Amino acid sequence: MKRRQLIAAGSAAAAVAACARAPQATPATAGTARFRWTMVTSWPADLPGLGTAVARLAGMIGRASAGRLEIDIQAGNALVAPFEVFDAVSRGRAEIGHSAAYYWKSKSPATPYFCSVPFGLNAQEMNGWLYHGGGLELWRELYARFALVPFPCGNTGVQMAGWFNREITSLDDLRGLKMRIPGLGGEVMSRLGVTQVNIPGGEIFSALQQGAIDAAEWVGPYNDLAFGLHRVAKYCYYPGWQEPGPTLECIVNQRAFDALPDDLKAIVEVCCRAINDDMLADYTARNQDALKQLVEVHKVELRRLPDPVLAALREQSRQLLEELAASDAFARRVHDSMHAYRERILAWAAVSEVPYYQARS
């Protein structure tokens, strides 16, 4: 009797456990379970490069899964504000999001490393570090604290230094400027006397037009032309020391990801990887056309930042990154991982990309 009761109790417990596992039990019926996810992003839906890549990602996931995982894009401000994407996905308000890790420095000082740090890695090197140099493991470890699964999902390539309404001939010309420049690049600028302003990309044009800011960096010719920044600032400077190859992120709510069968998990991962590559190809192909249009049609004054300005930016960046690493144990690990990789890649770049660029010019 006692044994029977035990067995009955055991069966009941098993049944309760099975019910509790019901969402996770879905993978057993992998072929039929259907999922519809809401996706929030930090960009307008039709923004070339960023917004259009998100649309391609959603379409690709839908096709690859034969409609079993459908993504409903709520871009820009449609559901949440651009800088609320991280929290919205972390808390499960949306299952998936597309943004940039360096917007979340208030969550952890380590986040910028997974997007871009000043004078850091270019796109090709970022992919090497993330996929084969330990970077992605660190990124996953950090985001697990926030119930998020991160995937590299796009890269703009090296950006431009930004738009200015006055010429920058020396460090003195930077002092007193109000500049839209997010993340660590903005902190570096503030050490050189610039007032850092952080506003979403979609607000840059009106802020420059109304004189709320004197300068702004956004991305590069392809995106900047789309926003019409040449109509509200005269000088366009390069190179994009602040963002030499920013990785965009696709973040998935941990619980939503865990509920997927293995094949759909793989589809999310592979499609993100495809877009990571495809976005860079898009920017590489289109930046040149946009640059030509800016210079030849719109008569933009294209300038290189003077060497003494770049040298000061480089030194301030080095100091800032050291301080950042010293402020937080996890940031220290990420910083050390990236910098060890960077030292190694510099030696390779010195006999590959760098001399090749010089040789072909």
* Residues lying near Ca ion in the complex (CB under 5 A): 159, 243
**Rounded to an integer, what is the distance from CA 325 to the centroid of its chain?**
20
Residue 248 beta carbon to Ca ion: minimum distance, rounded to whole angstroms: 11
SS3 251: strand
Distance CA 356, CA 350 (A): 9
Smallest Cα–Cα separation from 340: which of 125, 100, 77, 110?
125
Residue 272 beta carbon to Ca ion: minimum distance, rounded to whole angstroms: 21
Place of tokens 């709520």: 74
Distance CA 126, CA 112 (A): 12
**Closer by beta carbon to Ca ion, 142 or else 160:** 160
Residue 100 beta carbon to Ca ion: minimum distance, rounded to whole angstroms: 9
What is the four-CA torsion angle of 230, 236, 242, 243, rounded to 10 degrees? 60
| Distances from the Cα of 354 to the Cα of 70, 244, 345, angstroms | 43, 15, 11
SS3 150: strand
**Closer by beta carbon to Ca ion, 243 or else 282:** 243
Residue number, nearest CB to Ca ion: 243
Residue 207 beta carbon to Ca ion: minimum distance, rounded to whole angstroms: 15
Helical residues (DSSP H) of the chain, grouped into ranges: 2-20, 22-25, 50-64, 85-90, 123-132, 135-144, 183-191, 204-209, 221-227, 254-258, 262-292, 307-327, 329-349, 353-360
**Closer by beta carbon to Ca ion, 214 or else 243:** 243
**Closer by beta carbon to Ca ion, 42 or else 65:** 42
Residue 220 beta carbon to Ca ion: minimum distance, rounded to whole angstroms: 8
Distance CA 192, CA 171 (A): 7
**Closer by beta carbon to Ca ion, 200 or else 306:** 200
**Closer by beta carbon to Ca ion, 94 or else 219:** 219
**Closer by beta carbon to Ca ion, 76 or else 261:** 76
Smallest Cα–Cα separation from 122: which of 216, 274, 241?
241
Residue 246 beta carbon to Ca ion: minimum distance, rounded to whole angstroms: 7
Residue 116 beta carbon to Ca ion: minimum distance, rounded to whole angstroms: 8
